[in-house]
Amino acid sequence: MTPPAASVEASLYAGNLLVNGKIDSYNPHLMTLEELRVEIEGLERELQERMARIDDDASLDALRVDFLGRKGRISGLFKHLGSLDASERSEAGQLLNTLKERAGQEIARVAQKASAEQLASQLDAERVDMSLPGVYSTFGHLHPMTLVQREIESIFMRMGFSVAAGPEIETEYYNFDALNIPVEHPARADWDTFYIDETSLLRPHTSPVQIRVMETTEPPVRIICPGRCYRRDTQDATHSPVFHQIELLWVEEGLSLANLKYVLEVFTHEFFGEGYEMLFSGDYFPFTEPSVQVHIKAPGATDWLEIMGAGMVDPAVLEGVGYDAEIYTGFAFGLGIERMAMLKYGIDDIRVFLTNDLRFLRQF
Ligand code: FA5
């Protein structure tokens, strides 16, 4: 609102300014050009002094606000222009603009210097000495057991077998009853192992997977099943309480022991190469009839190593899963994977597979 003329006069007399027709009470008194000049020189000196003492971002910022802020001291001086004669106003304006420009340049220069120094000290602190040796991290690789298991799987898959899986915690039914090992059968004691509760146990062999597959599949069946097994066996150079087997099952019309022998010969040849000998000896398993043990001897070795139990699937087992045993015959085996790896790589102690000694593992 435009004030009445009389009060404008009184206000101007009191040292205030009339800005855009309104009274601005910011200035305590009117300044002459001379006084303004003295003020500007004083501000310039102060600027130099304070610039010399700037030692951090905060003090530089405070200086910027004090001199160049919207309500800062240079802005304050600009307000006196209105009270000067028109003839003096342009000179005073120039002086003020020069002061403002110089203050801006000085502050920018110091700010730039500070950030350059900061960058330099950061670069210094984070300097990388390219001449130091690097930090090496080696690539891991598959465990020899996994390598051997995959190799065995691939040989049988090329022969037309597919890979099946079953649980490691197995029921007594699949582990014993369905495999023709009733409660009172002495063979049950051989495989009585770590029980989880009254009826479930850690499987001591992969044979229960045979039953699980046959229950859900019509013949012909041609599967292998790799997996971990558990037994109460005392640890020695060829026995471990935790070990791996690969189960094989082939059920079809017209299969005989000769087919089993042929499959094993092809497999042994593919897996070991030339020079390994294979020996069949009679054995007993409640779920195969006849049953055999298969032993392998490495070239130049004197000892045979038993690698698997095998045989023709007992007709009672086939009937148990609903197959007509008059039509179908089959054979199966359970192969110890550690024993295969030991033979192939000349390892004389099964315990090395579990001790995680890198000097051993890095050889594969
Ligand atoms: C069985 O486990 C039968 N289920 C195999 C079978 C399957 C027979 C199908 C007939 C038809 P056996 O207990 O012999 O059989 O074990 C088979 C192989 O597992 C052994 O030849 C051996 O290579 C391996 N094996 C057994 N116990 C251990 C152990 N404690 N540590 C390392 N390997 C073992």
**What tens digit of pLDDT does each residue of 57-76 get?**
888 999 999 999 998 999 98
Domain 144-361 has what CATH class?
alpha beta
Would you say the CB of residue 332 lies under 6 angstroms from ligand 1? yes
Averaged pLDDT for residues 32-36: 88
Residues 6 or more apart from 151 whose CB is under 8 A from it?
271
Q: How close is the Cα of 97 to the center of ligand 1, in Å?
A: 98
Q: Is the pLDDT of residue 16 over 60?
A: no
At position 25, the amino acid (one-letter code) is: S
- Name the residue of 245, 292, 344 to mutate for ligand 1: max ligand atoms within 8 A of Cβ: 245
Would you say the CB of residue 246 lies under 6 angstroms from ligand 1? no
Would you say the CB of residue 310 lies under 6 angstroms from ligand 1? yes
Would you say the CB of residue 330 lies under 6 angstroms from ligand 1? no
Q: Which has the minimum average pLDDT: 22-36, 91-105, 188-202, 295-309?
A: 22-36
Would you say the CB of residue 205 lies under 6 angstroms from ligand 1? yes
CB contact burial 123-161 (16+ within 10 A = b; e otherwise): eeeeeeeeeeeeeeeeeeeeebbeebbeebbebbeeeeb
Average pLDDT of the chain to the nearest whole number:
89
Q: How close is the Cα of 179 to the center of ligand 1, in Å?
A: 15
Q: Quick one: which H or E segment has residue 40?
A: helix 33-53
What is the residue extent of each domain of the chain?
Answer: 31-123, 144-361
List the residue whose alpha carbon is closest to atom 20 of ligand 1: 308
Would you say the CB of residue 334 lies under 6 angstroms from ligand 1? yes
pLDDT at site 25 = 53
Q: Quick one: which H or E segment has residue 262?
A: helix 257-272
Would you say the CB of residue 210 lies under 6 angstroms from ligand 1? no
Percent pLDDT > 90 in the chain is 65
pLDDT at site 2 = 47
Q: Which has the minimum average pLDDT: 1-10, 296-305, 313-322?
A: 1-10
Q: Which atom of ligand 1 is nearest to the CA of 233?
A: 30
Q: Is the pLDDT of residue 261 over 60?
A: yes
What is the band of 52 on the pLDDT scale with cuts at 50, 70, 90?
A: confident
112 to 52, 61, 116: CA distances (angstroms)? 15, 13, 6
* pTM: predicted TM-score of the whole model, two decimal places: 0.67
Per the model's pLDDT, the better-predicted residue between 118 and 31 turns out to be 118
List the residue whose alpha carbon is closest to atom 29 of ligand 1: 239
Closest CA to 153 of 107, 195, 206: 206
What is the band of 24 on the pLDDT scale with cuts at 50, 70, 90?
A: low
